[in-house]
């Protein structure tokens, strides 16, 4: 329920607007002249002010100016029976949201009022979100107010003070590196190095050198001694990203380092002690990899002392507006723009979107929108066509198929539909099963199980 102040010296106009707004569920206060209007503003905050311009004594322009001084975010609509271009421009320059001329149609007034109140609610929500962002602001950049993320924040605080190995689980784009950074930043190692290595991005023959270093002449191209990541991170934290893609041979060498806390450079005979906290992250199902023989069981248990499981963005929709405003602020500063609002329609579209790319996808969308925006608000035109307007997957299946007159074999149809959707998901993700599982809203393990039942090729993990 919104609170509205109506200021007009005509009794009939005050009564008309008061009855009209009460019928539409608003709380209304009326003032018979500008002096009473200004007094009401000093005692109460309103969501909307409607004031006549021409009144005896204190006229409406003073009410407008006073409201702007006290409550800059409260929209003010002015009314006048003496409408002219000059009065409208003057009111707009002072800060009026809109104006209309007497006599007017109540239906037309309602359209303007609804838009003004919608804008007011958006401003209030932005204020709350900004306050939350400022309260949450940390070097790690982790943002969230959902129960799931609060649990993650609580776990981070508890494990940060230890030197225990932590396994960070989550789909691509959920923020696994940010969690690792947060653990490091809140630990007693925060002043020492935080290093990241992507185990999937480095060829096996180079990964050992990157992790442990090498001596000059150890192999072709080793022209100088090189310090590895473990030694470079001494006293700090090392994140082994995409640990599930580490080659088997390297898994054995990593296990020895974790057990002995010593490293031996390639081509060297001497082991060097290292004090490094190891964090590992993956978007794959390591238990499944252990069962398949692709990942060492002893290394899995060594890394998985404590696990932090990051939920996909679709499972924490309450975080979407907060994250969207966080990225809005980030990219308006980066691009030097004055875009300070996201329209409610955009937020609704974002809430309906599946976000297979998780937080990273949301960030890209907001970056794109800020880059395209020419005014102060992100609107639907700044989103990719079709985003968030797909039919709900909980809707009727009548639009997908008809029941034949002669009936059908239900199990066969379901099997065929499941196979078709899985093939489409694998086609869209280039055969990557992890991404396909995320696109279908199921776990990687569930997708593997379904693939065993149907005749789909041998796509990539």
CATH number at residue 415: 1.10.10
Give the whole-angstrom CA distance, residue 118 versus residue 110: 12
Residue among 358, 405, 361, 416 at smallest CA distance from 383: 361
The helix (run of H) or strand (run of E) holding residue 51 is strand 48-52
Domain boundary among 275, 293, 311: 311
Residue among 249, 240, 251 at smallest CA distance from 197: 240
Lowest mean pLDDT among 9-18, 365-374, 396-405: 396-405
Are 128 and 15 part of one and the same domain?
yes
Per-residue pLDDT, 297:
95
Q: Do 219 and 265 form a contact (C-beta atoms < 8 A)?
A: no
Are 168 and 306 part of one and the same domain?
yes
The helix (run of H) or strand (run of E) holding residue 427 is helix 410-428
Give the whole-angstrom CA distance, residue 342 versus residue 329: 11
Per-residue pLDDT, 4:
92
Ramachandran region of residue 216, left (φ > 0), alpha (ψ -120 to 50) or beta? beta
**Greater model confidence, 174 or 99:** 174
Identify whether 389 is part of a domain: no
- Residue 85: pLDDT band with limits 50, 70, 90: low
Are 352 and 292 part of one and the same domain?
no
Identify whether 396 is part of a domain: no
All residues at 6 or more sequence positions from 73 whose CB lies less than 8 Å from its CB, including other chains: 120, 123, 124, 127
pTM of the model: 0.60
Which range of residues forms the domain containing residue 104? 3-132
Identify whether 395 is part of a domain: no
Across the chain, what does the average pLDDT equal?
A: 84
Give the whole-angstrom CA distance, residue 90 versus residue 111: 23
Domain boundary among 132, 167, 189: 132
Give the whole-angstrom CA distance, residue 125 versus residue 321: 9
3-state secondary structure of 73: coil
Q: Is the pLDDT of residue 385 over 90?
A: no
Q: Is the CA virtual torsion 451, 454, 457, 458 positive or negative?
A: positive
Lowest mean pLDDT among 181-185, 202-206, 247-251, 360-364: 202-206
All residues at 6 or more sequence positions from 314 whose CB lies less than 8 Å from its CB, including other chains: 354, 355, 441
Q: Do 167 and 286 form a contact (C-beta atoms < 8 A)?
A: yes
CATH number at residue 96: 3.40.50.2300
Residue among 229, 174, 252 at smallest CA distance from 434: 174
CA distances from 236 to 130, 203, 233, 351 (A): 32, 25, 5, 39
Are 304 and 343 part of one and the same domain?
no
* Centroid of chain to Cα 270: 47
DSSP H helices in 261-341: 286-291, 297-303, 319-335
Q: Is the pLDDT of residue 30 over 50?
A: yes
Are 198 and 105 part of one and the same domain?
no
Angle between helices 444-453 and 410-428 (to 10 degrees): 120
In the chain the first and final C-alpha atoms are separated, in Å, by: 52
Lowest mean pLDDT among 277-281, 307-311, 317-321, 369-373: 317-321
Are 233 and 287 part of one and the same domain?
yes
Are 164 and 119 part of one and the same domain?
no
Tell me how many domains the chain contains.
Answer: 4
Identify whether 262 is part of a domain: yes
Chain position carrying tokens 């192999």? 219
Are 161 and 111 part of one and the same domain?
no
Are 356 and 444 part of one and the same domain?
no
What value does the mean pLDDT take over residues 73-94?
A: 76
Are 266 and 338 part of one and the same domain?
no
Give the whole-angstrom CA distance, residue 63 versus residue 76: 9
3-state secondary structure of 62: helix
* Centroid of chain to Cα 429: 22
Identify whether 214 is part of a domain: yes
Q: Do 97 and 111 form a contact (C-beta atoms < 8 A)?
A: no
Chain position carrying tokens 């396994």? 167
All residues at 6 or more sequence positions from 38 whose CB lies less than 8 Å from its CB, including other chains: 58, 62, 63, 66
Are 159 and 114 part of one and the same domain?
no
Q: Please provide the DSSP assignment of 159-221 as one string.
A: HHTS---EEEE--TTS-HHHHHHHHHHTSTTTTS-EEEEETTTS-HHHHHHHHHEE-TTSSTT
Identify whether 403 is part of a domain: no
Identify whether 66 is part of a domain: yes
Per-residue pLDDT, 397:
45
CA angle 127, 118, 13 (to 5 degrees): 120
Lowest mean pLDDT among 223-237, 334-348, 427-441: 427-441
Record the tokens describing residue 394, joined without a space.
């909980």
CATH number at residue 338: 1.10.8.60
The helix (run of H) or strand (run of E) holding residue 369 is helix 358-372
Are 127 and 168 part of one and the same domain?
no
Give the whole-angstrom CA distance, residue 198 versus residue 108: 59
Domain boundary among 311, 338, 361: 311
Identify whether 461 is part of a domain: no
CATH number at residue 255: 3.40.50.300
Record the tokens describing residue 146, joined without a space.
């959902």
Q: Is the pLDDT of residue 107 over 70?
A: yes
């Amino acid at each position: 329920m919104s609170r509205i102040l109506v200021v007009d010296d005509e009794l009939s106009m005050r009564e008309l607007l008061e009855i009209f707004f009460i019928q539409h569920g608003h709380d209304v206060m009326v003032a018979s002249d500008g002096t009473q209007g200004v007094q009401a503003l000093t005692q109460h905050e309103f969501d909307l002010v409607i004031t006549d311009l021409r009144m005896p004594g204190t006229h409406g322009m003073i009410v407008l100016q006073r409201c702007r001084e006290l409550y800059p975010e409260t929209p003010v609509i002015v009314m006048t029976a003496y409408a002219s271009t000059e009065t409208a421009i003057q009111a707009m320059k002072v800060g009026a949201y809109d104006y209309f001329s007497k006599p007017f149609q109540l239906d037309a007034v309602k359209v303007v009022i609804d838009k003004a109140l919608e804008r007011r609610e958006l401003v209030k929500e932005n204020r709350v979100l900004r306050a939350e962002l400022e309260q949450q602001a940390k070097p790690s950049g982790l943002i969230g107010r959902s129960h799931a993320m609060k649990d993650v924040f609580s776990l981070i605080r508890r494990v940060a003070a230890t030197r225990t190995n932590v396994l960070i689980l989550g789909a691509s784009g959920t923020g696994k590196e940010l969690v690792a950074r947060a653990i490091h930043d809140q630990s007693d190692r925060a002043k020492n190095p935080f290093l990241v290595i992507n185990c999937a991005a480095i060829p096996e023959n180079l990964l050992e050198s990157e992790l442990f270093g090498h001596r000059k002449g150890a192999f072709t191209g080793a022209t100088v001694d090189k310090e590895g990541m473990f030694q470079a991170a001494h006293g700090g934290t090392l994140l082994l990203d995409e640990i599930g893609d580490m080659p088997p041979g390297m898994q054995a060498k990593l296990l020895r380092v974790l057990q002995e806390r010593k490293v031996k450079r390639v081509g060297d005979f001497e082991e060097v002690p290292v004090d490094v906290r190891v964090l590992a992250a993956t978007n794959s199902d390591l238990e499944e990899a252990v069962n398949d023989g692709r990942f060492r069981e002893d290394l899995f248990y060594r890394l998985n002392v404590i696990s932090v499981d990051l939920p996909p963005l679709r499972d924490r929709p309450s975080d979407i507006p907060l994250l969207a405003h966080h990225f809005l602020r980030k990219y308006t500063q980066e691009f030097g723009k004055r875009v300070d609002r996201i329209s409610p329609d955009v937020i609704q579209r974002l809430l309906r979107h599946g976000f297979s790319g998780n937080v990273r996808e949301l960030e890209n969308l907001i970056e794109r929108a800020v880059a395209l925006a020419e005014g102060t608000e992100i609107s639907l035109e700044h989103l990719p066509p079709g985003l968030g307007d797909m039919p709900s997957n909980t809707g009727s299946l009548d639009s997908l198929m008809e029941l034949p007159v002669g009936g059908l074999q239900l199990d066969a149809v379901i099997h065929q539909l499941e196979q078709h959707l899985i093939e489409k998901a694998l086609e869209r993700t280039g055969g990557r099963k992890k991404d396909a599982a995320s696109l279908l809203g199921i776990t990687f393990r569930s997708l593997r199980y379904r693939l065993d039942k149907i005749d789909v090729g041998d796509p990539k993990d």
